[in-house]
Amino acid sequence: MKMASIKGLFLVSLFFLLTLSSTHAQELKTIKLNEPNKKRGLPVMEALSLRASVREWSDKEVSLQDLSDLLWAANGINRPEIKKRTAASAMNAQDVDIYVFMKDGVYLYDAANHALNPVASGDFRSKMGMRPGPPPGGPGTPPAGAPKGSPPGPESPAPIQLMLISDTSRFRGGTPEIKLEWGAIDTGIVSQNIALFCAATGMATRPRASFDREAIKSILKLKDTQYPFLNHPIGYPK
């Protein structure tokens, strides 16, 4: 009788944990983004004159329209009939994915449907915090013998964080080294789109290459061919 009671309690507990886990996984839902407003913003030359890296943001939440326009400008589909993007890519591989880290969780930008698909529940924005420097051999690594600079100063948190990840498996040819180089170049193009959009619309950002890559890979469950190159904190000027 006692053994039956223990077994029953175990089954009830297991059912509770499975239910809780399932509920937690379903907390996030796909976010359908607004149609991009293609008439907004400053002329490109004026936007270039204002482009700057920002380290402080206000507490104001990023609006859905601003987020929708930002993601479309970054790497959205601007020629639907041929499925081409606002950002060029080597071999038209369209290798750069944008992960959006928000207060409630992480989403993946789905350019084809102009939507955000849920990836992970929880606030992981702190994982984008600056480290003293990039990993050995990573982007931005100074040459041997170069003097070491001071670690970056403190940075106020931004409402959202965009993580730019290149999936080099999408390139149809090339060595692993050249694929990584192409991925870095393609990521830079998307990064510049983000910077220009922010400058043209009164938003604020800066590209960052120093962050905890291993933590990001774990959170997003990335494959070996997916390389996190840059992240952009996004918000409004303080």
- What is the architecture of the domain spanning 42-134+153-235? 3-Layer(aba) Sandwich (3.40)
The stretch 103-112 carries a mean pLDDT of 97
Residues 6+ positions from 108 with CB-CB distance below 8 Å: 97, 98, 99, 100, 116, 117, 119
The stretch 134-141 carries a mean pLDDT of 43
Write the pLDDT tens digit of every residue in 175-233.
999 999 999 999 999 999 999 999 999 999 999 999 999 999 999 999 999 999 999 99
**8 A C-beta contact, residue 164 and residue 190:** yes
User: pLDDT exceeding 70 applies to what percent of the chain?
Assistant: 78
Q: Pick the residue with more confidence: 14 or 26?
A: 26
What is residue 154's predicted lDDT score, i.e. its pLDDT? 57
Write the pLDDT tens digit of every residue in 111-131.
999 999 999 999 999 887 654
**Local confidence band at 2 (pLDDT 50, 70, 90 cut-offs):** low
Q: Please tell me whether residue 3 adopts helix, strand or coil conformation.
A: helix
What single DSSP character describes residue 169?
G
What is residue 134's predicted lDDT score, i.e. its pLDDT? 44
What is residue 129's predicted lDDT score, i.e. its pLDDT? 66
What's the sign of the alpha-carbon dihedral 29, 113, 194, 35? Answer: negative
**8 A C-beta contact, residue 166 and residue 226:** yes
**8 A C-beta contact, residue 236 and residue 204:** yes
Q: What residue type is 166 in one-letter code? A: S
The stretch 27-34 carries a mean pLDDT of 95
What is residue 156's predicted lDDT score, i.e. its pLDDT? 73
The stretch 64-82 carries a mean pLDDT of 98
- For every residue of 98-148, DSSP letters joined together read EEEE-SSEEEEEETTTTEEEEEEES--GGGG---SSPPTTSTTPPPTTPPP
Write the pLDDT tens digit of every residue in 196-211.
999 999 999 999 999 9
Query: 196 phi and psi, to 5 degrees?
Result: -70, -40
Q: Residue ranges of the domains in the chain? A: 42-134+153-235
